[in-house]
Structure 1
């Protein structure tokens, strides 16, 4: 991949070592996780504070309503996908956050803190054990929590590898424009 643009026309897969990276490269807050065929991302698993399941589930509804009202609300995060799961692994309820996005880990977490601080929306992570109460004023504590609870992937696959969300949206706008043009020609 070095020195050349990845070929988005062919599916690609990348096996990742247990450390979560192929070569140790230091970012602002620790190791830089690689860009994979799925772009960048991380998965966090953390225990939910006792009695907070309903609050966590309600937060999903809050995000749903926020996006319905303001579709670009999370745009600064350059997200492709988010998946949230709740499950009990025998020691209490746990939350899993899986996000795929276009920026590196450090930028994503900094942007998340900035976005939440600017909008007044809080993060669902406040319902997780060990999450720092000063996270808005202390982005490095937010990042440290995320890194401590990060569960690196060992395989990532992309049907259209290394393509950004903006590139996908641009291609879909182009497709819509061509469809409109063809419809007008009939």
Structure 2
């Protein structure tokens, strides 16, 4: 368990090329380490021709889903997501970067379950190599993510080792204290 001092001292971690320090097998392959920023991954894939607008529209779908049901993505224990479209030569690529509080295996299991439960499809259907039978073929989905994962080699956190739930608790406490102090004035 990290101490309060650990939370207050910025931390950086250089990560080997393989993406892990010691190969420990999880249910779906090697487990990537928890870093000061927590768990996460970056997935990069080539966009199917003509699908750029579908990807941009899907971002609007996620925005609307979160606005309608703020906790819709809660099972993923996310800190943040970042989606990027960028050209390489004549091709367009998509990068999905996420930081979350669960390991890679649990995140993938939870993500597929979430999409199946909500009926929201996944942005990855717009990428080359995404399995058409993804709803019924978890091994193919796992294979896609393993093949398209680009491990980071440095992760930094200004507030290291802190979960999203801990951050929310601290912010709720701050809001409560602010309200209490305002009442005293």
Would you say 1:75 and 2:96 are equivalent positions?
A: no
**For 1:32-47, what aligned pairs fall within 5 Å after superposition?**
32-47=31-46
Displacement of 1:5: 2.3
Residue by residue over 1:46-65, the C-alpha shift from the partner in whole angstroms, topping out at 9 and shown as x without a partner, is: 00011100000100111111
Task: Give 3-state SS (helix, strand or coil) of 1:135's partner.
Answer: coil
Question: Partners of 2:73 and 2:139 in 1: how far apart?
Answer: 21
Question: Partners of 2:24 and 2:89 in 1: how far apart?
Answer: 36
Residue by residue over 1:77-103, the C-alpha shift from the partner in whole angstroms, topping out at 9 and shown as x without a partner, is: 000000000011115110000000000
Displacement of 1:140: 2.0
Calculate the TM-score normalised by the size of structure 1: 0.96
Task: Give 3-state SS (helix, strand or coil) of 1:93's partner.
Answer: strand
Q: Which runs of 4+ in 1 moved over 4 A?
A: none
Unaligned runs of 5+ in 2: none
Contact 2:2/2:161 (8 A) holds in 1: no
Would you say 1:152 and 2:180 are equivalent positions?
A: no
Unaligned runs of 5+ in 1: none
Shifted more, 91-100 versus 108-117: the winner is: 91-100
Q: Which residue of 2 aligns with 1:126?
A: 125
Q: Which residue of 2 aligns with 1:53?
A: 52
Displacement of 1:133: 1.1
Count of aligned positions: 183
The alignment yields a C-alpha RMSD, in angstroms, of 0.9
Calculate the TM-score normalised by the size of structure 2: 0.97
Question: Partners of 2:102 and 2:135 in 1: how far apart?
Answer: 20
Question: Partners of 1:80 and 1:22 in 2: how far apart?
Answer: 23
